[in-house]
Amino acid sequence: MASTATHLVVVFTMLVSAMAVAESNMLQDFCVADLSNAVKVNGYTCKDSTQVTPEDFYFQGLATAKAAANSSTGAIVTGATVEKLPGLNTLGLSMSRIDYAPNGLNPPHVHPRASEVIFVLEGQLYVGFVTTAGKLVAKYINKGEVFVFPKGLLHFQKNIAGSAPASVLAAFDSQLPGTQSLVASLFGALPDNILVESFKIKPKQVKTIKSRYQPKK
């Protein structure tokens, strides 16, 4: 009797697991994001299929380089996520273009919902990520080469050329990978006393750094 009950529990668990996997698959050809609908269910609701147009699957924002020299760190990220390309909704992918001024830096950050792979369009970069064990995995990469940043790990890219710009294309396995900047998050959000104790620096130093990062509303 106990053996039969155990078998039933195992079978039931397998069925529930199979249903969960099945329900995560798409049930239609596409689900273009209805960006006008304020209701979100871990993403966007689907636009009426009769209202879908080719423009829902098209974005030209990655075609040209941006003026990265005008940014504070010398790097500009242009995203092609579901918010700009509604046809990505439920597809689990997105892209971005990153342009770097000479010596430009895309500062340490994480993408909490996606792994990232970059392809160098122009220039030479020093790129890397930090493992949860605190090990730096970094490499110099050139035009035509590829580098991968695992999901959720702190990473960066630095244009090592002092006289030439650089550009990469990045692909993500999420329609909205999210980006959390390390320094901006720490000094733009945490209380002074937490930062003083964590970094073993003086309150005045904390205030100086925090003055550069406005807290999010």
Measure the CA–CA gap between 190 and 199, rounded to whole angstroms: 12
- For the whole model, what pTM was predicted? 0.83
Query: Residues near 125 by Cβ (< 8 Å), separated by ≥ 6?
Result: 100, 140, 141, 157, 158, 159, 160, 166, 168
111 is in an annotated binding site: yes
Confidence at residue 41, expressed as pLDDT on a 0 to 100 scale: 77
Confidence at residue 42, expressed as pLDDT on a 0 to 100 scale: 79
**Token pair in block for residue 213:** 């990062």
Pairing of β 105-110 and β 166-172: unpaired
106 is in an annotated binding site: yes
Taken in order of first residue, the domains within the chain and their CATH numbers are 56-179 (2.60.120.10), 180-216 (no CATH)
109 is in an annotated binding site: yes
116 is in an annotated binding site: yes
Confidence at residue 2, expressed as pLDDT on a 0 to 100 scale: 58
Confidence at residue 33, expressed as pLDDT on a 0 to 100 scale: 94
Confidence at residue 213, expressed as pLDDT on a 0 to 100 scale: 84
Ordered mean pLDDT values, 10 residues apiece, the chain (217 residues)? 59 49 66 87 89 97 94 96 96 97 97 98 98 98 98 98 96 96 93 96 94 78
CA-nearest of 215, 162, 1, 177 to 82 is 177
Measure the CA–CA gap between 130 and 139, rounded to whole angstroms: 12
Confidence at residue 6, expressed as pLDDT on a 0 to 100 scale: 62
Confidence at residue 27, expressed as pLDDT on a 0 to 100 scale: 72
